[in-house]
A = this chain, B = another copy of it.
Amino acid sequence: MKLSTKGRYAVTAMMDLAIHDRDGPVTLADISNCQGISLSYLEQLFAKLRQTGLVEGVRGPGGGYRLGKPANQISVADIVVAVDESIDSTRCKGNLDCNKGERCLTHHLWNDLSNRLYDFLDGISLSEFIKDPEVRKISRRMDSTASRIANMFPPVSKAS
């Protein structure tokens, strides 16, 4: 388990997708504009997200990305793992005996913690965040302005 800016970008981008899920696909250009990172870097991240089925690309005009699964089936851990390849937990594996085997228990402890952290993040789904009252408020305001646009690009059927 590792958590860096890369993971943060991925998680916030996925939040964005979750919030606008009903309004049709979200373009990377929008996210790039919002988060202030380059389009290409986002494309790298989304390549991984797509490979793991977390997002689904929609090509052509009016296209973009949408969630690959329902928001309540996507956990924060899923996202972090998809983009932030995990840490190599032990260095003294096998060849080194770690001070006559006695001290290796700290690695066991770390694994313990790492698992707990994973479980914690795995218990938080994207859908939880949309329930946040403050988000609902803002989101509703958005809907009124965006729904007309959404009518021009109506909900595309799941062509897959």
Contact = CB atoms under 8 A, between A and B. Distances in A.
Given A3-B1, A134-B105, A138-B105, A8 B110 contact: yes
Number of copies: 2
Given A4-B4, A124-B116, A34 B109 contact: no
Contact of A135 (B88, B98, B108): B108
Contact of A112 (B104, B113, B129, B142): B129
A34 B87 contact: no
16 contacts: A2-B3, A2-B5, A4-B4, A8-B110, A12-B110, A15-B106, A15-B109, A33-B99, A34-B99, A34-B103, A34-B106, A102-B141, A105-B138, A105-B139, A108-B134, A112-B132
